[in-house]
Amino acid sequence: MSASVETRLDAPAAPGSRRLARMRHFDLVGLCVTLATLALAILWAFPLYWGVVTTFKPEDEVVQPGVQLWPKDFTFENYGHVLLQTKIGIWYLNSLITSVAVTIIVLIMAAGAGYAISQLEFPGRRFFWWMILASFMVPIPALIVTHFLVLNQLNLINTLAGVVGPQLIAPVTVIIYKQFFDSVPKDFREAAVIDGATDFQLLFRIYLPMNWGITTALAIITFIGAWNLFLWPFIAVSSEDKMNITVGITQVHDAFGVQYARDLAVAMLAALPVAVVYLIFQRRVTQAIMLSAGIKG
Amino acid sequence: MSESTKNGNGAPHVELRRVTKRYGTVTAISDLSLTVEKGSFTALLGPSGCGKSTLLRMIAGLEEITAGQCFIDSVDVTDVPPAQRRIAMVFQSYALYPHMTVRQNIAFSLSVAGAPRKVQDERALEVARILQLEAYLDRRPAELSGGQRQRVAIGRALVRKPEVFLFDEPLSNLDAKLRVQMRLELAKLHADLRTTMIYVTHDQTEAMTLADRIVVLDKGTISQVGSPLELYNHPANKFVAAFIGSPSMNFLAADLAAAIDGVASVALQGGRTARARVRTGAKADGPVELGVRPEHLALVSPSDATAAFTGAVVIVERLGSATILYIDTPAGQLIVQGEGNLSAKPGETVGLALNETNVHLFGPSGAAL
């Protein structure tokens, strides 16, 4: 008996020293992982740094062989050219109009559809739900030719409405809203129904405000997606006055062909609003990405 | 099956006529009729799954009635939407909107009806005064205690000035002390408003203390309707007898030997006999069950002539005002409730005397004889 007690008393010493050894081992592993992460971060950030630095170099320095980590002749000429000699203001405005329009319309439509499928009983509800799930499986670029033909028949090619139209297909947003509306306890709905609330009032005064975080996250990610979209606006618009900033970049050239520093300068300016939005709403964007991946945040 | 609940006013207010509720092949409520009279406080009482909440939701219009009709104030509301039934409901979860303040929660029904902001604020303040919530009007539900949330939920119902209040187990989320306090407040509210209240609970103490009429439900049908004391003293069947009263009634197998002029003589296990009052017309036709409440069994000496049973004390529960004894007898385990200072110890052999004026007899079907 006493022996077993002794064993128990001795026991903590051995795991203690083992733990210390394990901690030392972990520290080494941790250090290696940190260094590897740092190396990867540098590898990832270098092109970004290279791009930013290049925008401050004169074009002849850009095309010189070798690696110049800092401009010899620091210049704002590239930004000056982009801001003063191109239609970047109009491209920004077009991007803003189309991205805001896509964000607002997608959220309203998706919230409405998600609410209807989640909360209302109507014929074909299950069918619509399966259709939305099925549409989620179809990659949007596969529909580009169809979209072009339809919008051409509607005379919407080369218009901002034409840029917005196909972007309104957002099944993931509907699915996310439906999931969240499903999780709202039914007592809230029933209490509001007894109080005389209509379905519109239920959606806009109860369900959406109760899921405000989700709406914000979805709004940010939809806006960023619409702002960054290139392929469809590139196909749908040929007039420079109707171009988005992403397509406008392709127009920054002169008689001598592509000017890398100018191209990178306009690319930096195009990415700036998204970077600002991301920095401000970092947590929400992460949440939205997790939601889109099907992980409830 | 038709039952009614009465009150001082005597006018029928809520009436269910032969209502049935089916979910697919499952029948939750079966051909049930019930009348609740104006101004009464009626409790729907029963164990989980007996259909009491379903019945309340049918009155509220939240559940479609499969068959039958529902009337409020003599108007057939079977197909009328909940908002137009002039009812208000307090949910078990309170269902307070977390993004709204207390003021907004209370005034929500007025707001959706498009009432001017001034009217909303005035009514919210008026209700808040009644419920002593003035200091919390600008807080959100998350910043309130359980009792305060409960009061806001009642306030949200009160602001609509409904004809009928429906409560779906509103106190079950509160701790025991707060539950007693809120019970008192609800009783005061009913006394002040004299509005018809229908209250669902599985807690017989809540039903007994609050309601002037109790509807006991079992498997989707009404077992008995009556005042709390009627149910306690004259249970219509074994289910009601067992459900009402805490600790629960003791049941003993017995043989009905004779029934003359409303007094039956029953033979108990062990050869003793007991007498019980029965309805005239009850026939001596063999096995019955004798029901006796724990407080109607008295401890006597095992050798006492009045001892119907002898047994050994197994557990002694001291509640202060009362003592509960669990006694193993040849007839099975019996529960006895005595005074707080009752002297009994586990292992002690005691005799049990029946208070024959308070025993009940139940036939093989469970119905009271």
Whether residue A251 has pLDDT greater than 90: no
Find the CB nearest B82 among A193, A205, A206: A193
User: Per-residue pLDDT averaged across A119-136, rounded?
Assistant: 92
Distance from CA of A222 to the nearest CA of B (A): 24
Question: Is A11 inside a domain boundary?
Answer: yes
Beta strands (DSSP E) in B261-320 are: 263-268, 273-277, 286-292, 297-300, 307-318
**Tokens 């002390």 belong to which residue?**
B177
Rounded-to-integer distance, Cα B218 and Cα B49, Å? 8
Q: How many helices (H) and strands (E) does chain B have?
A: 9, 21
User: Per-residue pLDDT averaged across B180-198, rounded?
Assistant: 92
pLDDT band with cut points at 50, 70 and 90 for residue B176:
confident
Interface residue A96 vs chain B (CB under 8 A):
no
Homologous superfamily of B2-243? P-loop containing nucleotide triphosphate hydrolases (3.40.50.300)
Cβ neighbours of residue B12 closer than 8 Å, sequence gap 6 or more: B4, B35, B36, B37, B38, B71, B74
**In this structure, are A24 and A149 located in the same domain?**
no
Question: Is A61 inside a domain boundary?
Answer: no
Residue range(s) defining the domain that contains residue A201: 85-292
Interface test with B, best of A184, A190, A194, A204 (most B CBs within 10 A): A194
pLDDT of residue A286: 79
**In this structure, are A49 and A123 located in the same domain?**
no
pTM: 0.80
Which residues from chain A sit within 8 angstroms of residue B54, using beta carbons? Answer: none
Question: Is A297 inside a domain boundary?
Answer: no
- Top CATH class of B250-362 equals mainly beta
Q: How many other C-beta atoms can be found within 10 angstroms of the C-beta atom of residue A16? A: 10
**In this structure, are A130 and A44 located in the same domain?**
no
Question: Is A72 inside a domain boundary?
Answer: no
Find the CB nearest A195 among B61, B93, B112: B112
Q: For all residues of chain A together, what is the average pLDDT? A: 86
Question: Is A245 inside a domain boundary?
Answer: yes
**In this structure, are A89 and A20 located in the same domain?**
no
**In this structure, are A159 and A207 located in the same domain?**
yes
Number of folded domains in chain A?
2
Rounded-to-integer distance, Cα B101 and Cα A252, Å? 54
Q: How many other C-beta atoms can be found within 10 angstroms of the C-beta atom of residue B364? A: 10
**In this structure, are A26 and A140 located in the same domain?**
no
User: Per-residue pLDDT averaged across A130-142, rounded?
Assistant: 87
Residue A164, burial from CB neighbour count under 10 angstroms (0-12, 13-18, 19+): buried
pLDDT of residue A182: 94
Looking at A19-28, A232-241, B77-86, which range is the least confident one? Answer: A19-28
pLDDT of residue A253: 74
pLDDT of residue B6: 47
Whether residue B1 has pLDDT greater than 60: no
Which residues from chain B sit within 8 angstroms of residue A205, using beta carbons? Answer: 112
Which residues from chain B sit within 8 angstroms of residue A192, using beta carbons? Answer: 108, 112
**In this structure, are A135 and A205 located in the same domain?**
yes
Question: Is A115 inside a domain boundary?
Answer: yes
Residue A137 tokens read as: 């499986």
ipTM of the complex: 0.84
**In this structure, are A28 and A98 located in the same domain?**
no
Residue B201 tokens read as: 């609970």
CB contact under 8 A, B156 and A191: yes
**In this structure, are A127 and A203 located in the same domain?**
yes
Which residues from chain B sit within 8 angstroms of residue A196, using beta carbons? Answer: 83-84, 109, 112-113
The residue that leads in pLDDT, B248 or B3, is B248
Which residues from chain B sit within 8 angstroms of residue A201, using beta carbons? Answer: 112
CATH number assigned to the domain comprising residue A181: 1.10.3720.10
Whether residue A296 has pLDDT greater than 60: no
Question: Is A60 inside a domain boundary?
Answer: no
The residue that leads in pLDDT, A289 or A274, is A274
Cα-based distances in Å from B174 to B19, B93, B96 = 32, 10, 15
Show me where the domains of chain B are located.
Answer: 2-243, 250-362
**In this structure, are A152 and A44 located in the same domain?**
no
**In this structure, are A22 and A165 located in the same domain?**
no
**In this structure, are A90 and A40 located in the same domain?**
no
Question: Is A76 inside a domain boundary?
Answer: no
**CATH topology agreement for domains B2-243 and B250-362:** no
Whether residue A175 has pLDDT greater than 90: yes
How many Cα atoms occupy the beta-carbon half-sphere of B92 within 13 Å?
A: 12
Answer whether B284's CB lies under 8 Å from B258's CB.
yes
User: Per-residue pLDDT averaged across B321-336, rounded?
Assistant: 91
